[in-house]
Structure 1
């Protein structure tokens, strides 16, 4: 039996995960995916490593090309097609073909909005100069790579000390550039606490990055149309390559214009089944909200892990299932050279904003038994409710083998465990992997 028609807006993580799940469950259903870019199902998180030359070709970042979806899965994927309007009354979308600029209407029975997020790009003087890039799509990463190949820039400035900023600082150092990073915040990695991020910024400085904090961007200088310098409220920094890492915003305007409810930070409001406020329309990925397991309220966190899971859960429900997306802790991980960085749950600022009475511990330990070759420093911070001891958040900064320990903390938070419960866990031990008391448990012991 032929099922009704599903239209998906967006052909990356959430959109294609959902479309693929629906196809597996409903082999005969008509599925049309509109993607305004050139690529589908690509690993955007790998772009800094492609730019650095650690990955040979951009094709290696593509999990599945449009023609594979068409030929192997019978999913009608149309790249370079941008959906510009949603007509919820007539159940149709207005589509612009970016190749020939023609426009047409496409009907749907059910619609999934998976439009992702876009880099924040404020309207500063000179921001449209050549050599200024914001990473988002695979094509934007290719553009940076091509610019470096063609122009051999020597002085790079990164604006923003978040995940993209830190990863691109590593990439550009690997390419032997003189790298400057500045942020208007008093610290890098604002999703973490300052006592942890100071370890990061000090290590970056030690490795040659010029780090300036508490500085506001004012304008870009250019020469012959190409960026020449970055002007902050405190200094002028010469630069022939600029990376914007000032955060992202949800691509929710098309939904808002159609009368679909938006919520936290402008993201599309969804329930736990990823349904929007309009019947028959769903949203998933970086354009949509999630439920925060610690805050117990809606949140918006743009991460590839969340986008892929959103797509899976939306796909299950779009193909007749009835499943709720449980929620998120905001678990994230990155690195700068040998220094590994991860976090989950609440930081102290968030706990304070929520009025939670909490206590925190920060310990320094070793990644392996102290006598074992390769043993190195690891710092672990835990935050827990003062009375109950319930775990609220965790942060890790350290060397080889450090960061993935955050998954133990994320699991404990998801399960509603206390610091004592974490101490009680029967974790593994051998000298090549950890001290006899794992650093995560050592941090928990200081809270009980």
Structure 2
């Protein structure tokens, strides 16, 4: 009897996690696994690209977790440079760019995300770069090495801030151009204002409320400026940090059902709701928010790895379900650390909560200890129950990872009062006697009791 066939489209976080987990549970004689990856690499860290551009990480290959050869040693066949062109759901086949037809018994669609590119004239000009593949990082590094001195970063989300930070650190004059009033729209405006001010204080020029109208080019078709309604910003390098949408062209053309977010609609086992032999995971798949239960699309590598593992477990015969997301994330710009989890006030309002917010300011260490830096903690809680709904942190070194404590409390459904009584560690080099997150919870619980 021949082995069952698992075919995976996409060789990064979700796809390779699915393949590796399925192989752990089923031997090669029982399950043959083939992965199609259109690029030259698999299992690479897209999140690490800014730090490679900034020379914080000097070795490109350090961003590659595992090679095709390492997967081959596990009897996982990886075919790089192989693009999947079409899926025939009725026949159970995938056709490659070379015209080869491959059959499957189970299919994992892990096509990832697609960088958002608004219809702006000149966006395809020379000198305009995304931050999606390792090749993008190589191109930006080459531009800096060739003498680029003025950069415009479009967008103020995680990637936009990280790229502005590393290019500024490498000595470029950096302008961030935003259509939004503030960077980091994942934060509430009062916290976003802190980020914006800190970036300006660093010497990064912030141009907000300015949608891009055109990428101006020279006679050779190379970028020379970014134009908005407010002015033109000269540059010889443009970096796109406008966010990610689901890459679903292949899935949609095949007839897989998409959800309200535009991503592939899956149940909590990552199985397609329209075609049960197909799974989808990672940035191309729709998920749900842990608190509201509503459909969500949040492109983060943490989710992609977990969703891939769930799909691989189910294919391998082990029950598994994806438990949802809180959107927990953090980044840094200069010495400022920025983190968030759960619901912002705008998200809580859209979800129908009656909520209150409390913001406290403190220090990352005991105030008398050298290196104590400012930290601001904001909590969002439900008025009726006191349940924690969201948290945001902006502060100096040592601030950001505190978001994980808040994420754990929100995940567990704790109230502000319960969290305020939790037993967190203390030593002067690491925190004040009462950690800032506990202080914020104490304030929120006192207000609730009052």
Aligned partner of 1:180 among 175, 179, 182: 175
Counterpart check, 1:431 vs 2:448: no
Asked if the contact 2:261–2:295 (Cα under 8 Å) also holds between the matched residues in 1, the reply is: no
Deviation at 1:264, TM superposition (A): 3.3
Asked if the contact 2:246–2:283 (Cα under 8 Å) also holds between the matched residues in 1, the reply is: yes
Asked if the contact 1:270–1:288 (Cα under 8 Å) also holds between the matched residues in 2, the reply is: yes
Aligned partner of 1:366 among 351, 359, 363: 363
Asked if the contact 2:9–2:37 (Cα under 8 Å) also holds between the matched residues in 1, the reply is: yes
Moved more, 356-365 or 255-264: 255-264
| Moved segments of 4+, more than 6 Å | none
Number of matched pairs: 441
Q: TM-score, normalised by structure 2?
A: 0.96
Aligned positions of 1:132-211 closer than 5 A? 132-149=128-145, 151-211=146-206
Aligned to 1:58: 60
Partners of 2:288 and 2:121 lie apart in 1 by: 38
Asked if the contact 1:264–1:300 (Cα under 8 Å) also holds between the matched residues in 2, the reply is: no
Q: TM-score, normalised by structure 1?
A: 0.97
Deviation at 1:253, TM superposition (A): 1.7
Counterpart check, 1:315 vs 2:312: yes
Q: Report the aligned-residue RMSD.
A: 1.0
Counterpart check, 1:212 vs 2:207: yes
Aligned to 2:288: 291
Give the 3-state SS of the residue equivalent to 1:103 in structure 2. Answer: coil
Aligned to 1:382: 379
Partners of 1:137 and 1:69 lie apart in 2 by: 20
Aligned to 2:323: 326
Partners of 2:162 and 2:209 lie apart in 1 by: 20
Aligned to 1:75: 76
Asked if the contact 1:38–1:139 (Cα under 8 Å) also holds between the matched residues in 2, the reply is: no
Aligned partner of 1:253 among 249, 255, 258: 249
Partners of 1:321 and 1:261 lie apart in 2 by: 25
Deviation at 1:24, TM superposition (A): 1.5
Give the 3-state SS of the residue equivalent to 2:358 in structure 1. Answer: strand
Aligned to 1:103: 99
Counterpart check, 1:347 vs 2:344: yes
Give the 3-state SS of the residue equivalent to 1:8 in structure 2. Answer: strand
Deviation at 1:373, TM superposition (A): 1.0
Q: Which runs of 5+ in 1 are unaligned?
A: 97-101
Q: Which runs of 5+ in 2 are unaligned?
A: 446-450
